[in-house]
Structure 1
């Protein structure tokens, strides 16, 4: 492994900001170049993967219609008979969980470590001795 590859590997960060959940259903993509029908495969707060014949090109803006939702989005990758879309505005985690059919409460990570101030005492959580 070369020095540049090692540096890239050391600084690599997961590009997805939220968990993807498997879903299924008919999806409709409308772009300035045409209309497509396909199947949605997975969903997250920030985007979705769609199986679709002859997908729109990367960079195309699209209106994704699925399960009563209409989401403005952009095509971010195209491969074979599928594409990835990134939503202009994130959807709520409740929509994602509902799409999965999961009725349990999502706990997620306890906290982003960058948001925890160091040296602060957590008062009021434990009784005084």
Structure 2
């Protein structure tokens, strides 16, 4: 019962996702391509690439010194979802978050501040 309530509170996902913007490599039967890791959880990831060529099947996702093996479960509009065969360690999630924070350059932070300032002043609607 408690597990069912936890699932209802989180929606469809059993694991929370970490929003990122980290360079990665997606290796599939279609080839090896550069991509951007945009979501990461212990059980899966969402990846984006402008010309993402992927088909369902086995895949390896590499980012920095980390690597996970899984299956591509969906692909559309330059994005694809990967379900990992084995959960990634919590330490990898923490390390990925720290890498993402250090990779966020001044321009990104300044753009976010400007957008927030415009929204608060009523000049921008989100």
Task: Using structure 1 for the length normalisation, give the TM-score.
Answer: 0.62
Of 29, 34, 42, the match for 1:45: 42
Higher Rg of the two aligned structures: 1
Kindly state the Cα deviation for residue 65 of structure 1 after the two structures are TM-superposed. Answer: 0.9
Of 74, 79, 99, the match for 1:77: 74
* Aligned CA-pair RMSD: 1.9
- Helix, strand or coil at the partner of 2:87: coil
Kindly state the Cα deviation for residue 54 of structure 1 after the two structures are TM-superposed. Answer: 2.7
- Which residue pairs with 1:99 in the alignment? 96
Task: Using structure 2 for the length normalisation, give the TM-score.
Answer: 0.64
Contact 2:44–2:83 (CA under 8 A) maintained in structure 1 = yes
- Which residue pairs with 2:12 in the alignment? 15
- Helix, strand or coil at the partner of 1:76: strand
More helix by proportion, 1 or 2?
2
Runs of at least 5 residues in structure 2 that lack an aligned partner in the other structure: 1-6, 100-126
Instruction: Kindly report structure 1 stretches of 4+ aligned residues shifted beyond 4 Å.
Output: none
Number of aligned residue pairs: 90
Mapped pair 1:87 → 2:84: yes
